């Protein structure tokens, strides 16, 4: 392969690690690319350097991230590149109004309520041209790199607004979608409303809202036009704004916004409005339809540490023509071990009973006894975690439900010589949390106590039918059940080995062996089948070797 090294190495502020050259070459050469690269492989810096090497003056690089910590990584790398080229790259982190507003300090209201409050409030910052958000927006047209949340380019009503503010077009954008596995879970772009919100709105208005009956009845699709007229939404919107001005929170306004969005998107084929368990949801159906407009960008790069099987994502995102690249894991093979039980445990719905939870508890205890430092156990759901916990005889730390308790828990765990920690796949501890001291991971064993398949519900059934129709019979199950299961599992297993010096064993306590073929090559090749009675011995053996 011809190398374009000279072009991108000009920006690269470190010594390239093995495979980084190849990654940068591939990114440089492709227009649309799906890339799977392990944690610690330096994919953020590689993508930025390749993009900068290919960027023309009028073009902008947009990095879409889900979390602030991911955004900070990109902003930090841009600083390093600026130092290397001795020229400041103008970068803007497009945070929300709510995050930087010095005037309105309300955290328990929605984004829309906040926006409306800003619009209708007297504001001295705006009057003296000193509003940080307006200043931020003014920087967009001149920015070379913009780091923003997914919504700005993926949520249809926001995309045009963003392009307008940045004074650009899709053709002039080079887009990096960071942690692109998140597009599997379209909840981040969806909305919902509970009956309680409408009840509180009625209380505010001191009148009945006829629409409240929408929450009653079986789970089903909803035709919004049969429930509410535009005049009624306008009435709720105006009344809600008045209440908002006075009380700084308004359930009437919240209700109006949900139905306004639903009304706007009612003919959009990629959005569905449905009732499930007494709540109304507005959700996208296919991720590919959200990604579709971005294929007109000059470059589009979707990256993640967990995009396995990558061909599955290429089909689901309808990017079959994209360049696909899986970067190998460069951490020493001898530092890890993957074990799976041959038989005896799984969390299939029909297997679930007290006997099963007891057996899980006993096996986890055995693994814990032979593990130094931290044993981190991931369950498919909080309910299963609680069931198994009731049979465990050791002290167990449990993943907190509130974010604010998370930091305290991690600090506590770091001070423990040995600890057993229970968490949920896809929960707070499975993504973005570091269990490291001086850069080394203290998690020595990860247990996957049941493959985290989603629990069937109305939404999944509905989508499965639509996916089967689009991709072929049986593919709906693969995209909606298998891919998310693999992804959640990989996010969880990725918690232990964060650097070349970390060592850990991963134990899969689920004997549905047919599903492991969808895991990355590294796991498929290294996975060891073990009898359940031998698990403790195997874990002990691994840890003793490196004691």
Judged by the rule CB under 6 A, the positions of this chain that interact with ligand SF4 are 97, 101-104, 118, 121, 123, 125-126, 131, 133
Minimum distance, C-beta of residue 160 to ligand SF4, in the bound complex (Å): 21
- Which of 92, 101 has the CB closer to ligand SF4? 101
CA distance 372 to 392: 18
d(CA 240, CA 116): 10
Judged by beta carbon, residue 158 or residue 409, the one nearer ligand SF4 is 158
User: C-beta of 132: minimal distance to ligand SF4 in Å?
Assistant: 7
Q: Which two tokens stand for residue 232?
A: 């009624």
Alpha carbon separation from 87 to 59, 80, 82, 90 (Å, rounded):
17, 10, 5, 9
Closest contact distance (angstroms) between CB of 125 and ligand SF4 is 4
Distance, in Å, from the CA atom of 180 to the CA atom of 186, rounded to the nearest integer, reads: 11
CB of residue 102 to ligand SF4, shortest distance in Å: 6
Interatomic CA distance for residues 245 and 119, integer angstroms? 10
Q: What phi, psi does 458 have (nearest 5°)?
A: -60, -45
Nearer to ligand SF4, 152 or 215 (CB): 152
Residue 519 Cβ vs ligand SF4, minimum distance, rounded to whole Å: 46
Q: DSSP code of 229?
A: -
Alpha helices in 166-213 (DSSP H): 195-205
d(CA 428, CA 403): 8
> Which lies closer to ligand SF4 via its Cβ, residue 14 or residue 106?
106
Which helix (H) or strand (E) element contains residue 232? helix 230-247
Residue with tokens 């099963």: 356
CA-CA distance, 507 to 102, in Å (whole number)? Answer: 49
Of 123 and 330, nearer to ligand SF4 (C-beta) is 123
Q: With respect to ligand SF4, which residue has the nearer C-beta, 97 or 498?
A: 97
CA 207/CA 209 separation, integer angstroms: 7
Which of residues 103 and 358 has its CB atom nearest to ligand SF4 in the complex?
103
Q: Taking a C-beta distance cutoff of 8 angstroms, is the pair 380, 452 a contact?
A: yes
Q: Nearest approach, Cβ of 123 to ligand SF4 (angstroms)?
A: 3
Asked if 275 contacts 219 with a C-beta cutoff of 8 angstroms, the reply is yes
Chain centre to alpha carbon of residue 211:
33
| Min separation Cβ 96 and ligand SF4, Å | 10
Residue 129 Cβ vs ligand SF4, minimum distance, rounded to whole Å: 10
Distance CA 31, CA 292 (A): 14
Structure tokens at 524: 């498929």
129 or 395, CB closer to ligand SF4? 129
Q: Whole-number minimum distance, CB 201 to ligand SF4, in Å?
A: 24
CA distance 251 to 259: 12
Kindly tell me which of 134 and 500 has the beta carbon lying closer to ligand SF4. Answer: 134
């Amino acid at each position: 392969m011809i190398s374009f090294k000279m072009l991108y190495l000009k920006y690269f502020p470190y010594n390239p690690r093995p495979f980084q050259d190849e990654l940068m070459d591939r990114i440089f050469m492709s227009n649309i690319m799906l890339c799977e690269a392990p944690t610690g492989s330096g994919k953020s810096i590689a993508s930025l350097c390749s993009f900068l090497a290919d960027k023309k003056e009028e073009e902008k690089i947009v990095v879409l991230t889900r979390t602030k910590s991911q955004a900070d990584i990109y902003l930090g790398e841009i600083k390093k590149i600026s130092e290397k080229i001795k020229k400041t790259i103008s970068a803007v982190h497009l945070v929300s109004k709510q995050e930087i507003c010095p005037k309105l300090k309300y955290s328990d209201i929605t984004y829309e309520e906040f926006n409306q409050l800003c619009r209708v409030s007297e504001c001295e910052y705006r009057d003296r041209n000193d509003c940080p958000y307006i200043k931020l927006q003014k920087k967009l047209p001149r920015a070379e790199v913009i780091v923003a949340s997914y919504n700005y380019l993926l949520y249809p009503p926001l995309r045009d607004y963003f392009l307008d503010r940045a004074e650009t077009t899709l053709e002039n954008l080079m887009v990096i979608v960071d942690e692109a596995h998140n597009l599997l879970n379209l909840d981040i772009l969806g909305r919902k409303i509970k009956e309680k919100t409408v009840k509180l709105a009625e209380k505010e208005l001191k009148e009945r809202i006829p629409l409240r009956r929408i929450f009653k009845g079986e789970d089903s699709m909803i035709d919004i036009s049969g429930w509410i007229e535009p005049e009624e939404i306008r009435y709720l919107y105006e009344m809600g704004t008045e209440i908002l001005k006075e009380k700084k929170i308004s359930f009437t306004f919240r209700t109006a916004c949900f139905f306004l969005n639903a009304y706007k998107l009612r003919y959009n084929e990629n959005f569905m409005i449905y009732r499930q368990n007494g709540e109304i949801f507005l959700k996208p159906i296919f991720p590919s339809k959200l990604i579709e407009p971005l294929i007109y960008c000059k470059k589009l790069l979707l990256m993640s540490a967990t995009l396995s099987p990558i061909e599955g994502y290429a089909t689901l995102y309808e990017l079959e023509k994209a360049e696909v690249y899986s970067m190998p894991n460069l951490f020493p093979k001898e530092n890890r071990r993957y074990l799976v039980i041959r038989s005896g445990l799984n969390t299939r719905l029909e297997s679930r009973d007290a006997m099963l939870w007891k057996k899980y508890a006993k096996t986890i205890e055995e693994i814990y006894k032979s593990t130094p430092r931290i044993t981190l156990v991931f369950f498919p759901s909080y309910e299963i975690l609680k069931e198994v916990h009731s049979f465990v005889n050791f002290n167990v730390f449990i993943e907190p439900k509130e974010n604010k308790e998370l930091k305290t828990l991690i600090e506590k765990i770091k001070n423990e010589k040995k600890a057993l920690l229970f968490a949920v796949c896809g929960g707070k501890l499975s993504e973005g949390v570091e269990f490291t001291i001086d850069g080394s991971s203290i998690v020595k064993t990860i247990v996957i106590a049941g493959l985290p398949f989603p629990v069937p519900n109305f939404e999944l059934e509905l989508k499965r039918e639509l996916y089967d129709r689009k991709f072929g019979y049986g593919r709906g199950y693969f995209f909606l059940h298998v891919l998310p299961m693999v992804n959640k599992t990989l996010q969880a297993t990725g918690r232990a080995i964060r650097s070349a010096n970390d060592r850990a064993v991963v134990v899969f306590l689920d004997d549905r062996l047919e599903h492991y073929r969808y895991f990355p090559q590294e796991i498929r090749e290294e996975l060891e089948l073990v009898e359940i009675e031998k698990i403790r011995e195997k874990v002990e053996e691994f840890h003793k070797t490196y004691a």
